[in-house]
Structure 1
Amino acid sequence: MMRSMTTRQGDRAKVFSRRAIGLAAGKAALISALVGRMYYLQVLESDRYKTLAEENRINIRLLPPPRGRLVDRFGVPLAVNKQNFRVLLVREQTKDIEGTLDALGRIIALSDHDRQKVLKEVSRKRGFVPVTVRENLSWTEMARIQVNAPDLPGIIIDEGLARYYPWSEDFAHVLGYVAAVSEDDLTGDPLLELPGFRIGKAGIEREYDLALRGAAGTSQVEVNAVGRVIRELRREEGDPGDELTMTLDARLQRKAVEVLGEESASIVLMDVHTGEVLAMVSNPGYDPNAFNRGLTTAEWKTLVANDHAPLTNKPVGGQYAPGSTYKMVVALAALEAGVIKPENSVFCPGHMSLGNARFHCWKKGGHGSVNLVEAIAQSCDVYFYEIAKRVGVDRIAEMSHRFGLGKPVDVGLPHERPGLIPTTAWKRATMDQPWHKGETLVAGIGQGYVLTTPLQLAVMTARLATGLAVRPVLTRQIVGPDGNLLPRPAQTPDQLGISRQNMEMVRLGMLSVVHGDRGTARKAALEDKTIQMAGKTGTAQVRRITMTERQGGVIKNEDLPWKYRDHALFVCYAPYDSPRYACAVVVEHGGGGSAVAAPIAKAVMDECMRLDPARRTPTAEEMLALPPEAEPGPDDPTGTGTAGTGEAAAVEPALFENGLPRPLAKPDATGT
């Protein structure tokens, strides 16, 4: 029995020993596997996991670069960057969001829209992420918030850069504006996804957006497990956008805006040799700064409802019948075709008959017998009816194309329209109808289907002055962030291939318009009597005058509703003996070209002759008219960047005040 018990105890010991050895072996295997895994992770894969850990700890964030400046031909700033003070709200730092907004609203203006936007944003974002309450705070508003900071839990001030247009409406249509990125604008560029980033939406800002945008910088920040920024480790600023020098002259642009007053009109002034556009005005304008900060619904509705179309860039987007300003092209078509000679006369009794139709001259009693020069000077319609009938619409169209009409001139602005120069083939293709001789007569005085833009009329005038196929340009050079210049290649325009004698006869007619005894624009002669100006008036009807009205008396323009009044046009160049500058003016529903458009062109050309931008070098005082950097500082509470430049007011009192463009006075009810 004792032996049996000893045997059983021995068996149990053996079993225990085997199990202990098995457990020990299992533990050793597990420990070996764990050590091996640790060796694999910490030694063999250490670089990989170190990188992953660093990526979790460190974020790389893009920094928006400063947008490139736009300056005029003399370096005067047209579009710059100014300090943008923003008030932000951090939700986790305040227990009562609405109470904080109420307190803030007692310090600065805060609309219901602003409040609702903030409440919507804070519900979407993490508590530590700042939400923008308002942007573009003035220096005074920012200071008031800082003083009251203890009573505004969760409110912080942030500083950045915002686009600023110191000339406001004056350059709006040429420069365009920047605005927030929309879904349609996203192209994969990470810059476009930055909160608050702005891109060019119109004008030069749009056409040169990539060059002006610059290259993004980076900020390396350390974050915790929930993504809150702990500290910034490294920062590399981006490259600012290129600086673009325009051909425009700020002083001439301001003068053009000033003389237009409240008219719905456009002016284009250009150098006839280089094609440089010195002034391009579309009136009325709009404030591009409003688009940068974001238009309210009321502001947008006001712009859209305005019958003077402030959002339309009229010099390139407005299409108008050229009226009598087209007659020089018709005359050259007839001269080059040999159907008339300059000395040939046509008798004008005040009308011309073609079949059963009667075509009237603007002068009821007629002009009598007139030759080419006299017909241009007096703008005789019957003379041009006759020569248009002889030469035909197709040859008129061919000559029109030589002068840049009927097709985009490609000045580098969006939404440029081509105008329309009709031909027999065009009418057959678009209307499936034959061309009629009566339509040729109407086209001969710049009416009917003929449409042009103000920029095309300026180009036409420059080509008439020089005989060269000059092309308009708006940019002179681009300066990169490294200071390298990218100048615009000089133009080498081709000859138009028109007889010099024929061109001289047409120019003589244009000279007689202003300086002839019976010219239609004798009051438009320049103030400097040593300089002669050649020009041509035009009045384009926008409604058909019926026979009943002619017999009973044509209703005067001023007695008609505004939208039914004639357009007023005037084109000119000067000096006559050595052409340098050309100008085109179109006043929508303004009435007569000689009474309305010609005085406007005279005022602009007088200023142009005085300043002579193609030859002058600006003085130091003139360069102070606007500061080289329009950014506010401690002594500039308005945020306009003009502190310390008050002496510039003495340079040109009519245009500048305290270093900034002077606000233009509104004309009284009697007009401009």
Structure 2
Amino acid sequence: MRRTARDSEESARRVNRRALLMGGAMTAFVAVLGARMRYLQVDQAEKFQLLAEENRINIRLIPPSRGQILDRNGVLIAGNEQNYRVVITREDAGDMEQVLHRLQALIPLADEDVAEVVAEAKAVSPFVPITVADRLEWEEFSKIAVNGPTLPGVTPEVGLSRVYPLDRDFAHVVGYVGPVSERDLAELENPDPLLQIPKFQIGKIGVERWVEDTLRGKAGQKRIEVNHVGRVMRELDRVEGQPGDDIRLTIDAGIQNFAQVRLGEESAAAVAMDVQTGDILAIASAPSFDPNLFVRGISTRDYTALTENDHTPLANKTVQGAYPPGSTFKMVTALAAMAAGVADEKRTIRCPGYIEFGDRRFRCWNHGGHGAVNLSRALMESCDVYFYELAQEVGIDNIAAMGRKLGLGERPDLPMSAIGAGIMPDKAWKQEKYKEDWRVGDTINASIGQGYVLTTPLQLALMTARIASGTAVKPRLIHRVGNQTLPIDPAPALDIDMTHLAAVRAGMFDVMNAERGTAKRSRIVDETMLMAGKTGTAQVRNYNQGEAVAANDSLPWRLRDHALFVCYAPYDNPRYAVSIVVEHGGGGSLAAAPIGRDILLRCLTGGIPPLSAYPADQRNRIESQFNDMPLRAFGPEGPKPSRA
């Protein structure tokens, strides 16, 4: 059938419409494609460039240099030393175990160490570097650097590690650092990203722990370029972190060393304090330990030796040890009695050698009795009966209130670990603690520093400093942070009558200098440095009624009495106070007082105590003793080797 012109014209119009629709669709598609390409290549160029670079560029944290710890004169106590180490990054290493086995051929690396590194790497983000080994020798470090192309993800680094050049002298005060643990992280609400780096070290005890945020500083960062197998090709840029601030303590390294050496291998503690400022000049606990062992990873053998030592070298006895103060507490009872108006300098009490209360006999240390004694003589000869009688009249609540004024029963605010508050008991305390009423017998025991009363050596030094100065001085351990010296707030006057304090000081002077003073053998004869003090002997076991008191020498070491001594000097212008506790040392006058005198003289003279300060008949023995002491010599460049 032949098509008409009209039909042909209609067909052509339909074809043209379809062509236009197809062409428009293709044009629209090309326009959309072009717009998308422009968006990706021009508008989003920076974003995709960054995404591409992240495939070959890593950002890593740079641990900051830890702040140093120094003594009051700038002697280094805790510093940093160069440390060659090797780290591995999981995301760059590929097969970690294979890489680590290659590393074993270059450095000593046990199979157990390899397993530990792999486990650590799985526990953290893949980009976090894991320390494989540190404290490498230069030859080992060089081998790793040379073989770098065959060790993807492995990076040899030169870092810093903590070191304690004075080792045992400051172990209990400064403490030590160690790797961050899960427990450490759990204690922090928003942990610093640095702490998530495996084996990153933070303070564990002592000043290192309590001033951690100041010492740690802030992390830096570096951008590094890696190739397709994770090998570091180059460092693109670096932003250094902010080093931690240095901390300067109030402690004098020379006095601290002298105190530590003087205590020797006794289980003992000593604290020396400036009575005007509260600055702690020495705070020594013996025996001590080397904190460097913990930084480097202490062996099981070394740790067992420390934990099984019956003299407990890991414990800081100056703030953790809680001891009955014995007769060093008698000043508290005397001041409480005078404040309550039941005693003065003239009142005398007869001492027959004991008192009887109910069915119990409370004995004086002098079983034959002291006869009629006043306050000065009671302190000088340490008569127990005098204080038994006063305590019954004044009552435990008044005694406890006086003890707290002098710093007992309260926890000092210092950046040290496990500081104890001791116990300054009263009626309410016993009711709360034991649900029992306070008894008069408890008061009698407390009057001479026995029974429930417990104190730390630091508290005894503070008590002595307050008696000597007449002010509520507070102990201080931090002298300077960075470049800022911490201000010393003037200590307010004690709420104690000055005439009462003068009476107690006079009694303490007689303890050292009177013919019948309990510590006369440990006096200072130099008129410019005369001292006042008080001895104490604290029982560590209870005796049954009528049981004879055994001689200390006949008892096992752990059952012997503690020896205590507190002192200050110069008497007429007090500057320094010292407390000494020798665990199971026996009598305070024999075991503790000689140590206290030596440390006090070291504070007063600024060097080895001069022989002229000692009684003439003791000088040969003292000279020999000092010659045998392995003391450090501190020069302008820091500590010098100990002399034998």
State the TM-score, normalized to the length of structure 1: 0.82
Aligned to 1:166: 165
Aligned to 2:537: 539
> 2:357, 2:547 → 1: CA distance?
20
Amino acid across the alignment from 1:517: E
Distance 1:50 1:135, change over 3 A: closer
Native 8 Å contact 1:412 1:473 kept in 2: no
Amino acid across the alignment from 1:470: V
Counterparts of 1:359-370 in structure 2, within 5 Å, are 359-370=362-373
Aligned to 1:334: 337
Deviation at 1:17, TM superposition (A): 8.7
Aligned to 2:605: 610
Native 8 Å contact 2:107 2:140 kept in 1: no
**Aligned match for 2:396, one of 393, 415, 429:** 393
Native 8 Å contact 2:467 2:505 kept in 1: yes
For 1:585-640, what per-residue CA distance to the aligned partner results, in whole angstroms no more than 9, with x for missing partners? 11112211111111111221121122089xxxxxxxxxxxxxxxxxxxxxxxxxxx
Deviation at 1:299, TM superposition (A): 3.9
Distance 1:143 1:27, change over 3 A: same
Distance 1:333 1:204, change over 3 A: same
| Root-mean-square deviation (Å) | 3.4
Aligned to 2:623: none
Matched, 1:294 2:268: no
Aligned to 1:185: 184
Counterparts of 1:535-574 in structure 2, within 5 Å, are 535-550=533-548, 554-574=549-569
Secondary structure of the residue that 2:256 maps to in structure 1?
Answer: helix
Aligned to 1:654: 631
Native 8 Å contact 1:266 1:283 kept in 2: yes
Distance 1:218 1:489, change over 3 A: same
151-160 or 78-87, which deviates more: 151-160
Aligned to 1:146: 142
> 2:335, 2:245 → 1: CA distance?
44
Matched, 1:498 2:496: yes
Amino acid across the alignment from 1:212: L
Amino acid across the alignment from 1:586: V
> 2:344, 2:336 → 1: CA distance?
11
Distance 1:111 1:559, change over 3 A: farther
150-159 or 405-414, which deviates more: 150-159
Distance 1:383 1:407, change over 3 A: same
> 1:175, 1:567 → 2: CA distance?
27
Distance 1:122 1:456, change over 3 A: closer
Distance 1:12 1:99, change over 3 A: same
Deviation at 1:412, TM superposition (A): 3.2
**Aligned match for 1:249, one of 252, 266, 275:** 252
Secondary structure of the residue that 1:520 maps to in structure 2?
Answer: coil
Matched, 1:488 2:465: no
Aligned to 2:219: 216
Aligned to 1:68: 67
Deviation at 1:128, TM superposition (A): 11
Distance 1:308 1:488, change over 3 A: same
Native 8 Å contact 2:471 2:491 kept in 1: yes
Native 8 Å contact 2:273 2:578 kept in 1: yes
Amino acid across the alignment from 2:142: Q
Counterparts of 1:18-57 in structure 2, within 5 Å, are 26-55=25-54, 57=56
Aligned to 2:570: 575
Native 8 Å contact 2:564 2:580 kept in 1: yes
> 1:426, 1:389 → 2: CA distance?
18
Native 8 Å contact 1:458 1:583 kept in 2: yes
Deviation at 1:296, TM superposition (A): 3.9
Native 8 Å contact 1:526 1:605 kept in 2: no
Counterparts of 1:591-602 in structure 2, within 5 Å, are 591-602=586-597
Per chain length, whose mean CA-contact separation is higher, i.e. which structure has more relative contact order (CA < 8 Å, sep 6+)?
Answer: 1
> 2:122, 2:210 → 1: CA distance?
38
111-120 or 541-550, which deviates more: 111-120
Deviation at 1:367, TM superposition (A): 1.9
Distance 1:431 1:95, change over 3 A: closer
Counterparts of 1:262-661 in structure 2, within 5 Å, are 262-479=265-482, 485-526=483-524, 528=526, 530-550=528-548, 554-611=549-606, 654-656=631-633, 660=639
Secondary structure of the residue that 1:549 maps to in structure 2?
Answer: coil
Secondary structure of the residue that 2:221 maps to in structure 1?
Answer: strand
Native 8 Å contact 1:135 1:293 kept in 2: no
> 1:364, 1:20 → 2: CA distance?
130
Amino acid across the alignment from 2:107: L
Amino acid across the alignment from 1:180: P
Secondary structure of the residue that 1:439 maps to in structure 2?
Answer: helix
Secondary structure of the residue that 2:445 maps to in structure 1?
Answer: helix
Amino acid across the alignment from 2:332: V
> 2:285, 2:242 → 1: CA distance?
34
> Aligned pairs, how many?
611
Native 8 Å contact 1:407 1:419 kept in 2: yes
Distance 1:113 1:322, change over 3 A: farther
Deviation at 1:266, TM superposition (A): 1.1
Secondary structure of the residue that 1:279 maps to in structure 2?
Answer: strand
Native 8 Å contact 2:106 2:143 kept in 1: no
> 1:326, 1:558 → 2: CA distance?
25
Amino acid across the alignment from 1:656: A
Deviation at 1:313, TM superposition (A): 2.1
Native 8 Å contact 1:388 1:441 kept in 2: yes
For 1:489-514, what per-residue CA distance to the aligned partner results, in whole angstroms no more than 9, with x for missing partners? 22211111322222111111111111
235-244 or 181-190, which deviates more: 181-190
Deviation at 1:532, TM superposition (A): 0.8
Native 8 Å contact 1:537 1:571 kept in 2: yes
Matched, 1:235 2:230: no
Distance 1:423 1:124, change over 3 A: closer
Deviation at 1:312, TM superposition (A): 2.2
Of all paired residues, the percent bearing the same amino acid is 48
Native 8 Å contact 2:104 2:110 kept in 1: no
> 1:173, 1:664 → 2: CA distance?
23
For 1:123-142, what per-residue CA distance to the aligned partner results, in whole angstroms no more than 9, with x for missing partners? 889999975343224xxx32
Amino acid across the alignment from 1:327: K
Task: Note the residue ranges of structure 1 that are not aligned, 5 or more in a row.
Answer: 480-484, 614-651, 666-672
> 1:162, 1:466 → 2: CA distance?
43
> 1:261, 1:113 → 2: CA distance?
40
> 2:553, 2:342 → 1: CA distance?
40
Amino acid across the alignment from 1:63: I
> 2:121, 2:306 → 1: CA distance?
32
